[in-house]
Amino acid sequence: MHTQTHTHTHSLTHSLTHSLTHSLTHSLTHSLTQTDRQTHTLKYTDRHKHTHTHTLKHTDTYLMCVCVCVCVVVSVPQLIYGGKLDFLVFDYLSEITMSLLTAAKTKMPNMGYAPDFVHVALAPFINDIHRKGIRVVSNAGGVNPLACAEAIQEVIRKAGLDLKVAVVTGDDLMPHRNSLSEVKMADDGSRQRLPKTLHSMNAYLGALPIRRCLDLGADIVVTGRCVDSAVTLGPLIHTFGWERTDYDLLAAGSLAGHLIECGAQSTGGIFTDWHKVPDWDNMGFPVVACSSDGSFLLSKPPQTGGLVSFGTVAEQLVYEIGDPQRYLLPDVICDFSRVVIQEVPGVEGGAVRVTGAKGFAPSHDYKVCATYMDGFRATAVCPVGGPRAAEKARRTADSIIKRSSPDMPLAFFLLGPQCDKLWVKVYKCVWRFCSISPPTACPALSPKIHTSGSVYHFSQSDIALNLVCYFIIIILIHSLTLFI
């Protein structure tokens, strides 16, 4: 059984001249002392109990920073216990995520952020994060960063700790939607009005407000929408004292953030040569040890799966870049066309040293993502096995259609080795919403199918079709994305 949801995207461009504000939830008055260190020795123990060391030589100071966006149950303990970290940064947001979080906030005003960041990533580990002196930066605030900060403060209070939480706001442009009623399309230059069903509208902020929060002494920084790499660049600017005109350094820091965003992608998670990547069940998450000169070493925690190599990192380098000589960010325009990726020998699981990023003055505009409501759509794929499976599948589809009302477009596609021709019929019908039943209410199958939670299926009359699998239907809000 396979389900799939679909979204469409439309790109628009508009020059924003609004002054985007950046707010703190606390009045923070002290800054942290930075410690200069000349070298860093990376120690790890391999599976044969042999201890290895690798010395990272830097010109001034270094910063160990990691980024996670998914699988926090696995990644957070792996990273905080796997070595000495200065910052743990989280990247949670995508374009569709903003729409989903907006829908959640509409239903519950105190939601609109990523709750697993608070309750799964932070709460179980908050004492160890504090004990190890790790500072946290995350864009998990989504469309409600203030509520996210309040939830974090509750976790801190329950743990009996004294930690400072700062919030970056100002990305939400919904209050300005009337002044942005007409925008310019990016693909053809035509001007169009924003849809009346506008759902969310957020500017992609940069790293400077994050730097400001850290300068004021924040232990945990929560933002709304910002570019993915900003959660890494902000700590680097704060740690090394980079100026906003140090464009090559800002480009290098943005590259570090870009390479460790999206979880384990740079450590082999989506590597083309996937068969060369060991231990998928214990995939290591990326760590960058950054120098004040902009160079950095990318590796992963010891005794973890995955792979760090020229190939895994180079593939992540071109991920979502577009023009590598003109990668637009709020703080800098990056030129990654001359980046050098060098494999470092003798490090378990692999490591690479990255240099060569160049930067230029940024644009005066912010990119804005807007989403709007456009109905519902869902796709369900139901495998049917056994003798005369194709005939059985046709009858199954026909029976579902007969029980439905003609109202919404729906297409059935029959695919399989018994089908000489693709069987396609388009109907008008309403798909019945699924009922949620506990596993004990599901019909017994032999051999048993083990589940980790509730099974979504049709009514008992549908199950009586005696198919070899369950029907699983997911119906989601279908939102369109606009780039302004």
Determine contact, residues 216/31, Cβ cutoff 8 Å. yes
Tell me the C-alpha distance between 186 and 192, whole Å. 11
Tens digit of pLDDT for each residue in 446-457?
A: 333 333 333 333
Residue 69 has pLDDT above 50, yes or no: yes
Can you give the pLDDT at residue 307? 96
Can you give the pLDDT at residue 65? 59
Tell me the C-alpha distance between 335 and 248, whole Å. 9
Determine contact, residues 355/340, Cβ cutoff 8 Å. yes
Can you give the pLDDT at residue 415? 58
Tell me the C-alpha distance between 411 and 280, whole Å. 36
Tens digit of pLDDT for each residue in 235-291?
A: 999 999 999 999 999 999 999 999 999 889 999 998 999 899 999 888 999 999 999
Name the percent of the chain in helix, strand, coil, to the closest 5.
30, 25, 45
Confidence of residue 27 (pLDDT cuts 50, 70, 90): very low
Domain ranges of the chain: 17-170+205-364, 374-479
Tens digit of pLDDT for each residue in 385-399?
A: 777 777 787 787 777
Tens digit of pLDDT for each residue in 117-154?
A: 999 999 999 999 999 999 999 999 999 999 999 999 99
Distances in Å between the Cα of 237 and the Cα atoms of 243, 302, 340 are 7, 27, 22
- State the alpha helices, DSSP H only, in 189-263: 208-215, 230-240, 247-260
Residue 96 has pLDDT above 70, yes or no: yes
Mean of pLDDT over the chain: 74
Strand duo 220-223 + 135-138: pairing: parallel
Determine contact, residues 387/416, Cβ cutoff 8 Å. no
Tens digit of pLDDT for each residue in 172-210?
A: 999 888 887 777 665 566 777 878 888 889 999 999 999
Tell me the C-alpha distance between 260 and 266, whole Å. 6
237 SS3 class: helix
Residue 217: burial class (beta carbons within 10 Å; 0-12, 13-18, 19+): middle
Ordered DSSP codes for 100-137: HHHHHHHH-TT--S-HHIIIIIIGGGHHHHHHTT-EEE
